[in-house]
Amino acid sequence: MKIVTLLGSPRKRGNTATILGMFEGLVAARHEVVRIDICDHRVQGCLGCDRCQKVLHEPGCAQKDDAPAILARLMAADAIVYASPVYCWCFTAQMKALLDRHYCLVKWQEGEVVEALLEGKRAALLATCGGTAEENADLMQQVFARQMRYVGCRPVGTYVVGECTTPRELGTRATEAAARMAMEIAGV
């Protein structure tokens, strides 16, 4: 299985990156794993121009940034892990911009979906937050569920690790979350 992980955190050694790295380490022996650090790429927000809707079988986005190449990698994957810390009850701005660009992955004609370029792909959410998951990551989980329904992905898990301070202090919460992810996403 080819697994693409998307790190939406601007902190490359932060809590989210630490847990994601543990997951990647657990599954890398049996599966191909490719990490994309979104913050290393130029991803602009969606313009809502609908030019993408004139092209089938590919994103077809009018913008010339890094998003089309990232989206092509998602299309080639079997499973996608979206990993982001909670910022203002939702995804980081960097991850949100890429999620908005997922619009071009669903093709519409006369109000009907004619093609979903991520149809059937396994998708999971890893979220970390400084407080508890309740009243903190609940909105992010709703956004993720709706986004995956829109693009036709098959959600296989939502993993929220709360009360994060520093990666050193994650303790067993990190290893337990990574192990659960590896089992539920990749059967490892």
Under 8 Å between Cβ of 116 and 106: yes
Q: How many domains, the chain?
A: 1
Range of the domain at 151: 2-186
pLDDT of 5: 98
**Who's near 24: CB < 8 A, 6+ residues apart?**
5, 33, 35
Under 8 Å between Cβ of 185 and 122: yes
DSSP letter for each residue of 19-36 = HHHHHHHHHTTTSEEEEE
Q: What gap in Å lies between CA 1 and CA 77, rounded to an integer? A: 8
Q: What is the pTM of this model?
A: 0.96
pLDDT of 165: 86
pLDDT of 132: 84
What's the CATH code of the domain at 106? 3.40.50.360
**Who's near 27: CB < 8 A, 6+ residues apart?**
3, 33, 182, 185, 186, 188
Across all residues in the chain, what is the average pLDDT? Answer: 95
pLDDT of 133: 81
Under-70 pLDDT residues of the chain: none
Q: What gap in Å lies between CA 11 and CA 108, rounded to an integer? A: 36
pLDDT of 143: 97
Question: What is the Cα 162 distance to its own chain's centre?
Answer: 18
Local structure of residue 43 (DSSP, 8 states): -
Ordered strands of the 32-37 beta sheet: 32-37, 2-7, 79-85, 122-128, 154-161
pLDDT of 168: 86
pLDDT of 146: 97
